[in-house]
Structures are given as structure tokens and as C-alpha cells.
A and B are shown apart, each in its own frame.
Chain A
């Protein structure tokens, strides 16, 4: 009668009587006397699963009808207190379990805002009733811990198995019916409460399971088409392309064809040098042997000063270095040292590990995160930049699908408290006091992996160790995702600041592969850029199969085709300057889309470039008398490609008019303001 022994410890005298009575009349309860019982493993999941602890019911921050549960039962102890002891324990009636407020409400025998949740013959209801009958203990029987859960998907069913460990060893138990199941894409697959999976449409969905404080996920794929029309003779695939192609096969998607060489060349220049290629560089590209010209161009660009600038700016953005002017206080520019350092990171060949180490360990006013004053802001900065994880949700509440809880967020924040003077001189680690309560928080690393830092490190060194080694590869995964994102236009993990279980990569295998390679190469940025830039994924065409129907092409979602993306405002201005070979002393277009179009049309930005002495359009008309050749050169200069026959036919008459030069300027304006130039296809 282990359970009854426990009850006497928990409840007053009366509950023991109740439990004894119950034990006498409910053999079902007593028969399992030796089985361990824990509120968190038996009762909490029911509250979560039945929706009682959902955000729109008792799980809200303020509760509902005076009864508050933790969101998705994240805090069993708190919930137990609310059920068992609040209102002087009037929610449960140990003598007459059926009369408990806690049971009559969901049966709707009493007015219940949430309507009827259970019927009397529901197994969940019976479990709750038996639990109250047994004295509503928090735990009973031998002590055991929930060690983790495993989710498997087979034969159209999800199965969740929980591992419990105790002195007696490990036991497993099927907890599918008690687990919260959800899907990342309900239009593909949707789990039922009993674990069955309803298939809805083609694509990939990740089934997420939650039991206790553990989450797990597993993918389920429904191919779009049965056959994969992959042509033979693709023996020399890079590991990246092989991983991506096998995903295409799995998903039953036909990859788009390769982009035309001009398009690919323009892409490479914009991505690696921040500008379109000059006609001279275009010619050089086509003079190279076809098999090696992409790799050779990539290598040349990787060694260029422009690459250092473009990726230096990316790295600064990833580490959230404030742009000039953004962080000025009282007219004093701040973070100038920091910006100077970041401008030269790529140029100096620093790996991302070295940059991260510098950011985390070097003391001084110019650390990227020092301008944030609250240790919690700093911890969140760390999460976003180093790991690509948003830990901010946990600042306010335990998030059901986060790996960490509020307490862990605070403990991690304690690492970032400002150092304080040590007795006897020098500085010592800072302390972080819980806002509102004033109690100091013991620092602890986020529970991402089981690795523990070596002893004797300073706080700064420990956070650096955590980012680079203790995070189980998340650092590499984060940056592989970001680099992929800037090159392909779409990161593998959508919203790259928010890696989490319920936000999987569109191709997990591809991201895994890139992250591993990146880590193996010592976090070398150039190497990773090269791997992606010479791949087939990078070279995919962006041409839609049906221009009338741009929305909802699964090829875009699954990276079977590239999506044309607009040049950023600054990129656009730089591109105009680069094409015309002049500097234009005007600001870049505004972000707002209407203001941007008005700016391009009416501000005179392009006109100013076209009127600047010695610009490249002018040069065409200085040296090239033949209108047909002029048109050819204009197109090659501005769009990196020759005009099509239709274009030549339609536009040539313009250049044959009276004032060819003025006409040429207008045509150059039209090409620069045109749809194609402003887009990276």
C-alpha cells in the first residue's frame, strides 16, 4: 500500500480515511501498489491533452474563472498546488471524489466556461477520479525520473515511448495517448490524439510530441509525384548536391533546370562582390572552359576585396553590430572600434569561431553585446547570434515547445551580468539579481547538450566554450544556415534567429551536411561560400513554370527552384553606380516599396548617373556609331546579356532617331529602372 503511506504524508487525517475507503472499494488502484505514481507523469499530461492548460483556457497568464494552470502543464508542482490546495482544498473532495469541483466542472455538472470536456466513461475522467479517490497525492510508490521520450512513426501512426529511470532500473511505457501531438504542416499530415496520423497532402511535415518536459520530433514525407525524372549521368555530384537531390527524390519533386549562364554569372557577382559583372568580366567568364568557369570565377571573387566587404557586412549583421548612427548617444558615435573590427574580419581571414571568441571574451566598451544593459538582453543576444535561437519567449513564460524554462533563461542571463570589483582589487564575476525578488541567480548554461565546460574558466571563456563546443554543433548549424540564406536567398531554417524543434530546416540532411563540413573546416567562411556557390542548388533557374500563377509552387518551398528576389535598396544604388562607372552623390532608395518606386522614377538618381561625365553609357555613344551595336552594348553593360531578337526589333528604332545619344540615355534609364535589373533572378 505504498500509495496510502504517501497520502498520510500529504493530506490531513481525513484524506487518509478517504484513501482507505477508496482502497477498499477500488481494487484497480490498490492492485498496482508497487507501481510508481507521479502527478507530472499521470495527471499533468491529461490536463494538457484535454486542453485545460491551453493558452485560451486555464493556461493563460491570468487563468480562467479564478483557476490557473501553467501553460500546457509546464509546471506540474504549481498546477498540483492549484488543484489540491487552493481555495482551501475545495477543488477536490476526497470523501466523494465525484463531487469534486475539479471533476464536476469539466463534466459540466456545474457551469463551466470551457463547456463539457469529459464524459463519465472517459478513461481520462476515470484516472482523475481514481486519483482523487486515492487521496490526490503528488507522488507515490518508488521514486522515478522521466529520462526522455522517443517518437517513432510507422504504419501511419506516431508512437511515443517514455523512459523512466529509478533505482530498480529503466522501464519504458507507451505514452502516446498522454502526449501532446502536433504537426508543423497540417496540410501534409495531422496527428490524432490517439497517435494515428491523418494524411492531407503532399510535402513534408514534422510530427512533434511532448510529454513531461521532453519534446521530440520525427518527419513524415508524402511525395508530390511517384517518379523522379532525374536524368542519368550525374555521377560527379558534390556531397551537397547529392544530399539535396536525394531529398528531391524523396519528395518526388523535379528540380528546375540550371539557370542560363548569364543569369548565374550575374547572381555570382551580386552575391560575392555586391555588384553586377562588367562587360569585360562577362567576356572573361565566357572565354573560360565551360566545365570549370563557375569554380574559377568563384575562386577569383573569393579572393577579391569586394568579397571581404560584402561578407564583412553580412558577418557584422549576423553579430548585430549597430550601423553608424543607430547607436549614437548625445551626438557621440559609439561602437566605432567594433565596426572597424568587423569591417576587416573577412579580410583578415578570421574564421567565425575566432570572431565569436573575440566578441564573447574580449573585455572593453566595444563588445557587440555590451551596449545592452540588461543581462537578459545579453543572453538573448547570445542566443540569437551564436546559436540562432530565440530564447526570449522563456523570459516571460515556459514555452511548451522550447527546450528551456524560465528559470533556465534567468540562470543563463546571470552569465552576462557586469563584472564587479573584487575585494582586494581587480574584478570578479558579476551577479544577477532576480528582478522584483532581489534574490541572486546562480549562473547555469542552457541545457542544450550534456557536455560540461572544463573547470577554471572565466564566465566569458565559459560562454565562448558553450557557443563553440558545448552547444552540440548548434553554432555551426546556425552559421551554415545563415550563409546558405544569403547565397540562395532563402535560409534552410526559416527565420534564422529562431532554430527550434518546431521550426525544422526544409532539408535537415542538407543543413546537417553543411554544418558538419563547416565545423570540420574550422568554421572557414570562404570554404562554405565556395561549397554552396559552385553547387547545383545555387545554380537553379528561377523561371516559374507558369508566370500567371506565382503563388503556391511547392518547388519554391522545397528549394527545387530558385526564387527571384529584389535587390536591396543599397545594393540597387551600388549596382547603378557600378554599371555606369561613376559615383552618385545621393542616398539609396527608401525601404518602403511605394517610396522606392517614386524615388527610382522621380528622384533623378539614375539621371544623375547618366549625366555624369565619362559614364559608361556615354562611352558607348562616344565610341560606337552603329545603333545595333549600341543596343548590344547597352544590354551587355546593364543586364549582362545581349538583347533578344524581340527586344532588338522593338528597341532599335529608338536609337535610330535624331538624337541617338538622348534616346540612349532614356533607354539606359528604362533598363536600369526596369523589372529585370532590380531583381536577382
Chain B
């Protein structure tokens, strides 16, 4: 907590209880979520659930050491994350019956296992628009570069889906899809306004929606200051380098800029974690090595958010669909393993330095405090202060609770 927000928080606190209820306060504080999705299934044993004592065919070639969070063994390729672990919540006992990419992603991202008749909305769609304000000019839910199928709006209207920026901010001269207007659009846009005004207003809800999104598009793209929210080039060279000049680094930096600008959920889809072969090389070679990129980007994000005093209102979640087989396969890779996986969280609404759950000596299944993806889903919503009491409505008006009765939040992790 820095001086500035110390003052605002402390200054406001004595009056708050009289003015607004707890839930209201959380809503007003406008918390945000940055969800880093490691698409394909991150190996828990090689990253956050190291088993240095296990035989070689289990622990593999990658070394894990005890991190700044007592009892948590983290890969030596994640040194900076390891150092910040004392500020995080690490859940090592996520367990699910779903071992197929799509089904497992659905389970983690929507908190529910796939349903043949209902396509559930993702955490981003639920929280991103939780305090939906029709006058909001900034899209509440942004996906970098795009959203996983199950990270979308599900049965909710498409207006609650993510805005996909459509490319990697790590690429030179990156520009968000169609954000920059072509030259000499001024007169045409002015005429568009006149033509719409002469038309005399929307005739239906869908036409009104179109007007609203056209306004939003105008707001985002015509004012260079607003547009710069999407532009990582505005950051210093040093900071960009600290995040790492690669997809994940620049995406995390962009996510921070977006959250600063009022975005409620930034979803980063980092593909390529489905390492069935040669997992050591897959994680530690290449440009950039995946673990190095993760280490650099996540630790930089943590540092940056903290320095700006944004950590109290921003939650970061590093999640994946499932873990990988504890025993190396003949190709020295690891296959799908849904009985155990890990998830790292820090920031808004969470305690610091909490280690949740534990897997057995071989990392096969939780032996302490098993957590379902549904529980994790509930925990994130609870930490963000989302209203979990309300119901969502399907197209046919069927009410669906935001969280199911079977889900319980990880209370010991909530601040």
C-alpha cells in the first residue's frame, strides 16, 4: 500500500459503514481481474507443485526449490515468481474429473462441467459486466489476443462477450484490430451522425444496441488519448523490457493499462502448454522459453501493480485447464492429468502467502483440501466482490445461480 492510497483508504473508512454496505463498497471500488490462461494444461509438477523427493521419472529433469512461501516448491526457472510467492495464494489441489481440453477448460473457466443443453458464461463475462453500466464507454471485458470458446458469454447475450484485440501486443507495430481510423474519416463520420439523426432514433432494442456500440467504437478510436489505452508503446522502454518483449510480457503490460483505463476483466490466452513430448525442452527452450516468459511477465505485473497501488483493486489469476501426468511418458513428455493441478492468485480480495491444499508424494491427487474448479471460480468471484447471490437468465428466461450450491469458496484465502 503506498502513501496515496493509504490516505484514500484510511480517510474513507470511518465514513464508509454509514454510507454503504460491504457489498456496495466492493462494487464501488471497481475491482478488476487479469486472468492469465495457460492454454493446453500447465504441468503442475514442473512449475508450482515440485516434488524434489520423488523418483526421477516423476520429478523429471526440472528442479524445484522451496519458494518464499513456506512449503511451496517452485521451479528454479521461475525465480522471480518464487520470490513473490509470499504475497500470493497458491492452490495446489485443484482437482476435476475432466481430462479433455475443451471440457476441462469449460470446467475451470465457467466453474461448471459442460452441459449438453446449456452453455455457461465464463467468469469474465459474469464479472466483466457484473456492474453493467450501459453508459460505460470502455469495454468491460477484453481478450488478448482472443478468447477461448469457453471464456465467452455462454448463454448470455453477445453484448456481454469479450472484445478481442486480435493480435499479439508483443509484435512490432502491433495495432488492435480496426482501432485506428483511416485518414480523412472526419467528414464521413460527421455525415454518419447526421444521417442517423435524420433517421429519428432506434426502432428496436437491437438498433439501440448498435447505437450504443457505435458510440463506444467512436469513443475508443477517435480520441487518441483514449485509444492509447491499448498502446503499450506509451510505456517506457525499461518497463517494457521488465515485462519481457514477448507475447505474455506485453500482454500483461497491456492488461495493466486496460485495467487502469476501466476494463473489469482482461483475459490473456497464452497458448502452447500441451507438452506431450520432451517437456523439459518445451518449457525451458525456445524464444522465449515458456517458463521464463511466465516468470518475467507475472513478476513484473505484480511489481508494477504494487508500485501503482493497483494491487488492492486488481486480482491476477494464473490458471490452466488441468495438470499433467506425474510420471513422464516414453517421449519424456507429460499427458493430461485432471486429478491435480495448480493455480496461482494474488491481489484484490486475497490474503498474502496462503498455501491451499497439498498433493501426495507423487503429485497424483490432492491429499489435503481438494478444491474443485467450481470452488476456485467461487473464490475468484468472492474475492472480487461480485454479487454471487443474483441469478443469471438463459435465453428462455430460466434462472441460473451465479454460483452453484455445490461450490464453496476457499475462505482461508479471502481477505
| Cβ B206 vs Cβ A594 within 8 A | no
Cβ distance B378 to chain A, nearest Cβ, rounded Å? 18
Q: What does the 1/0 interface line of B106-129 toward A look like (CB < 8 Å)?
A: 000000000011000000000000
B187 within 8 A of A: yes
Residue of A nearest to B152 (CB): A592
Q: Which A residues are CB-close (under 8 A) to B200?
A: 547
Residue of B nearest to A647 (CB): B198
CA distance A602 to B180 in the complex (A): 7
| Cβ A596 vs Cβ B182 within 8 A | no
| Cβ B163 vs Cβ A563 within 8 A | no
Cβ distance B78 to chain A, nearest Cβ, rounded Å? 34
State the interface size on chain B (CB cutoff 8 A): 48
B173 within 8 A of A: no
| Cβ B191 vs Cβ A495 within 8 A | no
| Partner among B198, B220, B395 whose Cβ is within 8 Å of the Cβ of A646 | B198
| Cβ A674 vs Cβ B204 within 8 A | no
| Cβ A678 vs Cβ B210 within 8 A | yes
| Cβ A542 vs Cβ B203 within 8 A | yes
Q: Which B residues are CB-close (under 8 A) to A651?
A: 191, 194-195, 198
| Cβ B217 vs Cβ A674 within 8 A | no
Q: Which B residues are CB-close (under 8 A) to A676?
A: 195, 199
**Residues 546-569 of A contacting B (Cβ, < 8 Å):** 547-548, 550-551, 563-566
B272 within 8 A of A: no
A671 within 8 A of B: yes
Cβ distance B348 to chain A, nearest Cβ, rounded Å? 25
| Cβ A669 vs Cβ B199 within 8 A | no
Cβ distance A385 to chain B, nearest Cβ, rounded Å? 15
CA distance A651 to B182 in the complex (A): 23
- Decide: A592 near B163, CB < 8 A? Known: A602-B180, A676-B199: yes
CA distance A551 to B395 in the complex (A): 16
B239 within 8 A of A: no
| Cβ A564 vs Cβ B203 within 8 A | yes
B161 within 8 A of A: yes
CA distance A364 to B159 in the complex (A): 41
Q: What does the 1/0 interface line of A507-536 toward B look like (CB < 8 Å)?
A: 000000000000000000000000000000
Cβ distance B226 to chain A, nearest Cβ, rounded Å? 13
- Decide: A663 near B395, CB < 8 A? Known: A564-B203, A593-B158: no
**Residues 199-218 of B contacting A (Cβ, < 8 Å):** 199-211, 213-214, 216-218
State the interface size on chain A (CB cutoff 8 A): 55
Q: Which of B159, B178, B194 has the most CB of A within 10 A?
A: B178
CA distance A395 to B220 in the complex (A): 46
| Cβ A601 vs Cβ B196 within 8 A | no
Q: Which A residues are CB-close (under 8 A) to B201?
A: 547-548
Residue of B nearest to A548 (CB): B201
Q: Which B residues are CB-close (under 8 A) to A393?
A: 117
Q: Which A residues are CB-close (under 8 A) to B180?
A: 602
B179 within 8 A of A: yes
| Partner among A551, A601, A675 whose Cβ is within 8 Å of the Cβ of B199 | A675
| Cβ B205 vs Cβ A594 within 8 A | no
| Cβ B163 vs Cβ A595 within 8 A | yes
B249 within 8 A of A: no
Q: Which A residues are CB-close (under 8 A) to B218?
A: 601
| Cβ A592 vs Cβ B178 within 8 A | no
Residue of B nearest to A393 (CB): B117
| Cβ B116 vs Cβ A594 within 8 A | no
Residue of B nearest to A376 (CB): B116
- Decide: A566 near B210, CB < 8 A? Known: A392-B117, A598-B177, A675-B196: yes
A667 within 8 A of B: yes
Q: Which A residues are CB-close (under 8 A) to B210?
A: 566, 593, 597, 675, 678-679
Q: Which B residues are CB-close (under 8 A) to A590?
A: 164
A544 within 8 A of B: yes
CA distance A679 to B205 in the complex (A): 11
Q: Which B residues are CB-close (under 8 A) to A380?
A: 116
Q: What does the 1/0 interface line of A580-594 toward B look like (CB < 8 Å)?
A: 000000000011111
| Partner among B182, B196, B216, B396 whose Cβ is within 8 Å of the Cβ of A674 | B196
B185 within 8 A of A: yes
B139 within 8 A of A: yes
A654 within 8 A of B: yes
Cβ distance B144 to chain A, nearest Cβ, rounded Å? 14
| Cβ A544 vs Cβ B187 within 8 A | no
| Cβ A597 vs Cβ B164 within 8 A | no
Q: What does the 1/0 interface line of A403-420 toward B look like (CB < 8 Å)?
A: 000000000000000000
- Decide: A666 near B191, CB < 8 A? Known: A542-B203, A595-B163: yes
Q: Which B residues are CB-close (under 8 A) to A607?
A: 182
Q: Which of B162, B189, B204 has the most CB of A within 10 A?
A: B204
A390 within 8 A of B: yes
CA distance A597 to B179 in the complex (A): 10
CA distance A200 to B158 in the complex (A): 32
Q: Which A residues are CB-close (under 8 A) to B162?
A: 592
CA distance A602 to B211 in the complex (A): 16
| Cβ A547 vs Cβ B202 within 8 A | yes
**Residues 639-681 of A contacting B (Cβ, < 8 Å):** 644, 646-647, 650-651, 654, 663, 665-667, 669-671, 673-676, 678-679, 681
| Partner among A392, A544, A565, A646 whose Cβ is within 8 Å of the Cβ of B116 | A392
Q: What does the 1/0 interface line of B129-173 toward A look like (CB < 8 Å)?
A: 000000000010000000000000000001101111010000000
CA distance A674 to B121 in the complex (A): 31
| Cβ A669 vs Cβ B191 within 8 A | yes
Q: Which of A395, A495, A547, A646 has the most CB of B within 10 A?
A: A547
CA distance A543 to B202 in the complex (A): 10
B284 within 8 A of A: no
CA distance A669 to B189 in the complex (A): 9
| Cβ A679 vs Cβ B196 within 8 A | no
Q: Which B residues are CB-close (under 8 A) to A678?
A: 210
Q: Which A residues are CB-close (under 8 A) to B159?
A: 593
Cβ distance B174 to chain A, nearest Cβ, rounded Å? 16
- Decide: A675 near B179, CB < 8 A? Known: A594-B139, A594-B213, A595-B163: no
| Cβ B205 vs Cβ A551 within 8 A | yes
B192 within 8 A of A: yes
| Cβ A542 vs Cβ B204 within 8 A | yes
| Cβ A674 vs Cβ B199 within 8 A | yes
Cβ distance B162 to chain A, nearest Cβ, rounded Å? 7
| Cβ A679 vs Cβ B161 within 8 A | no
B188 within 8 A of A: yes
| Cβ B164 vs Cβ A650 within 8 A | no
Q: What does the 1/0 interface line of B238-268 toward A look like (CB < 8 Å)?
A: 0000000000000000000000000000000
Cβ distance B60 to chain A, nearest Cβ, rounded Å? 29
B221 within 8 A of A: yes
Q: Which A residues are CB-close (under 8 A) to B220?
A: 594, 598
CA distance A548 to B218 in the complex (A): 23
A67 within 8 A of B: no
| Cβ B187 vs Cβ A663 within 8 A | yes
Residue of A nearest to B179 (CB): A598
| Cβ A667 vs Cβ B217 within 8 A | no
Residue of B nearest to A62 (CB): B406
Q: Which B residues are CB-close (under 8 A) to A250?
A: none
B224 within 8 A of A: no
B14 within 8 A of A: no
Residue of A nearest to B187 (CB): A666
Q: Which B residues are CB-close (under 8 A) to A547?
A: 200-203
B11 within 8 A of A: no
Q: Which A residues are CB-close (under 8 A) to B17?
A: none
| Cβ B189 vs Cβ A601 within 8 A | yes
Q: Which A residues are CB-close (under 8 A) to B199?
A: 674-676
Residue of A nearest to B215 (CB): A597
Beyond the given A675-B211, A681-B203, please list 12 additional residue pairs across the A-B interface where CB-CB is below 8 A.
A390-B117, A392-B117, A503-B396, A547-B200, A566-B206, A598-B178, A598-B217, A602-B181, A654-B191, A663-B187, A675-B195, A679-B206
What are 7 sample pairs from A and B whose C-beta atoms fall under 8 A apart? A390-B117, A393-B117, A544-B204, A563-B206, A564-B207, A670-B191, A674-B195
Interface of B toward A, CB cutoff 8 Å: 116-117, 139, 158-159, 161-164, 166, 177-182, 185, 187-189, 191-192, 194-196, 198-211, 213-214, 216-218, 220-221, 395-396
